[in-house]
């Protein structure tokens, strides 16, 4: 699958409101640093669920670039997203 297809799979899972299925999708994306550019717009999405899952995905991708993006989300207006960003940036 291409990066846009993988991000679309993530968005579909988030839209389903099925956290178990979404977590499984996120786990499948772990370590895929090539997804960073495609995930970046989700970090400022109006939907807090999309932002939270983007942060969760970045935490599993890991690496310095993902950590920098996570640190930026420490100022997110949504408390769960801020908490996930803080844990993911560790």
* CATH 3.20.20.210 for the 3-89 domain, yes or no: no
Say yes or no to pLDDT of 2 above 90.
no
- pTM: predicted TM-score of the whole model, two decimal places: 0.93
For residues 1 and 38, the answer to whether their CB atoms sit within 8 Å is no
Say yes or no to pLDDT of 1 above 80.
no
Rounded CA-CA distance 31/61 in Å is 4
Task: Provide the pLDDT confidence category of residue 3 given band limits of 50, 70 and 90.
Answer: confident
Beta strands (DSSP E) in 9-66 are none
The mean pLDDT of the chain is 94
Per-residue pLDDT tens digits for 14-33? 999 999 999 999 999 999 99
**Residue 83 CB: number of other CB atoms within 10 A?**
14
């Amino acid at each position: 699958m291409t990066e846009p297809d993988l991000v679309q799979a993530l968005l579909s899972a988030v839209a389903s409101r099925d956290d178990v299925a979404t977590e499984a999708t996120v786990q499948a994306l772990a370590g895929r640093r090539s997804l960073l550019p495609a995930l970046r717009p989700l970090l400022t999405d109006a939907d807090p669920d999309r932002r939270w899952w983007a942060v969760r995905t970045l935490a599993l991708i890991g690496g310095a670039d993902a950590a920098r993006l996570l640190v930026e989300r420490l100022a997110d207006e949504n408390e769960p997203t801020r908490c996930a960003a803080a844990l993911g940036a560790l």
